[in-house]
Structure 1
């Protein structure tokens, strides 16, 4: 009995030290989670303001995409059979913390090129798509457009990207832009918009319906329609990105609040246990005297 009693003395001392260390660790964790909650709430407010602006700018940009897509549909423009090569434009941005809005585009491209990627080239708009696609499709990426998402996209930015596509030297028979289309504040859809070179437009089945079309007019319209599609998809992607980030930050703030409640409860229980242990030791010592 005496031997067992002597062994209990250091154990109680270690339990007290262990309890104090746990109490300090919980306090540090609680403080860090509160700081994270402040950051996520601030990011949510910033995203809400940017989302309101992006939604306002999206409405006048939609006719650009609708007009260009309607021309390809009405003229029944198709990909050239003698040119099986394809150019894929992944429309993302440089900023994260917005859920899986960028990874959905990359997963879709990887699934399409899973069997054969030798006849496809990829143009990445934004650093997020390049970082994910470079792991498996690095040889297919011909260029990457940076500084996307920091400022609202303009038609001049889209025109520069369209000029690069036409002057990059890659001879493609068809192309498509993969982007996220804004649906509601809490949802978006993954969409594709096709585009074609001037030779494919000239070979359209119903292109003769339009009057006064020559090679120069078709080339000019092809350049303008490609810039219009890029401008439209970048506006749609920016609006969907801000709404997704706003939702993600709101969920993060709620999760941080739940974690704060649990850590506060654990902190109070641990503190009460430490105080109770100290009182027991004081009372036991006074009773022993």
Structure 2
């Protein structure tokens, strides 16, 4: 009996060690799973706090941007009406075009910037693109267009979007356009036109050279217009249209960012619910497995 007992203990000892090792390995794996889920759940909660804060900030900025836009609309509308009433048309013999992409340096606002860049990119893919040059207002349009159409970009304006746009910013951009050295016959300012809190669309404002304005058929409607007066007004009208486009773009950007952050907060909330459910189920499975092991071990000792 003593020899049999010794042999049985000798065989049972390695088996017990193996079972203990398997149990410890399973516990370690479950603890790693619970820890990873807990870390991810915490990170998603932090992201939700950030997106909610950004939504509140964008809502406050949107209110101010919408108020400023109402005061800036007469500048852009008045400048465009001058070209319409004078029936200014692009010259037939000048094929050089200029596009001004009105974006900003900031992201996390949906497809606001990519929409403007897409309009210009589609035009650059058509015949005659070798006669087109682009001025990027904001770093986002430059980043989108530079990879494939970098040779068309002649100037970039940075530091746009961090503060509300002012007429001084518009005057600086218009001066950069006039002193760029590119003698264009016709051009467009591509910008985002604000429609509602959840809607905006890409629109454009015309750009004409001084020769086109002087050759307009109905320019005689405006009395006492010499070359110096026309040049001064064109400089002012260009700054006015850019100022109007900046205000429209800022309002569209803030409304789009507010909507994007709201959607991001909702998505984070759904992820938090799913991760919480997964965490609770995993933790319950670990507790149940440990109870089964304890009960099985106690039953084996009896």
Tell me if both proteins adopt one fold, taking TM over 0.5 as the criterion: yes
Question: For the residues of structure 2 that align with 1:14 and 1:187, how far apart are their CA atoms?
Answer: 55
CA contact (8 A) 1:175 1:194 kept: yes
Question: For the residues of structure 2 that align with 1:85 and 1:236, how far apart are their CA atoms?
Answer: 27
1:147, distance to aligned residue in structure 2 (A):
0.5
1:90 aligns with 2:78: no
Out of 156, 164, 168, the residue aligned to residue 144 of structure 1 is 156
What TM-score comes out, normalization by structure 2 length? 0.92
Within-5 A mapping of 1:1-289: 11-116=22-127, 117-289=129-301
Question: For the residues of structure 2 that align with 1:172 and 1:81, how far apart are their CA atoms?
Answer: 12
Unaligned runs of 5+ in 1: none
CA contact (8 A) 2:155 2:180 kept: no
1:17, distance to aligned residue in structure 2 (A):
2.2
Unaligned runs of 5+ in 2: 1-10
For residue 80 of structure 1, give the secondary structure of its aligned residue in structure 2: coil
Aligned alpha-carbon RMSD (Å): 1.6
For residue 99 of structure 1, give the secondary structure of its aligned residue in structure 2: coil
1:168, distance to aligned residue in structure 2 (A):
1.3
For residue 42 of structure 1, give the secondary structure of its aligned residue in structure 2: helix
Q: For residues 217-243 of structure 1, what are the alpha-carbon distances to aligned partners after superposition, in whole Å with 9 as ceiling and x for unaligned?
A: 111111111000000000000000000
When structure 1 is superposed on structure 2, of 30-39 and 110-119 the one drifting more is 110-119
Q: For residues 96-145 of structure 1, what are the alpha-carbon distances to aligned partners after superposition, in whole Å with 9 as ceiling and x for unaligned?
A: 00011101111111111103421011000000000111011100101100
Q: For residues 32-56 of structure 1, what are the alpha-carbon distances to aligned partners after superposition, in whole Å with 9 as ceiling and x for unaligned?
A: 0000000000000110111111111
Question: For the residues of structure 1 that align with 2:91 and 2:67, how far apart are their CA atoms?
Answer: 38
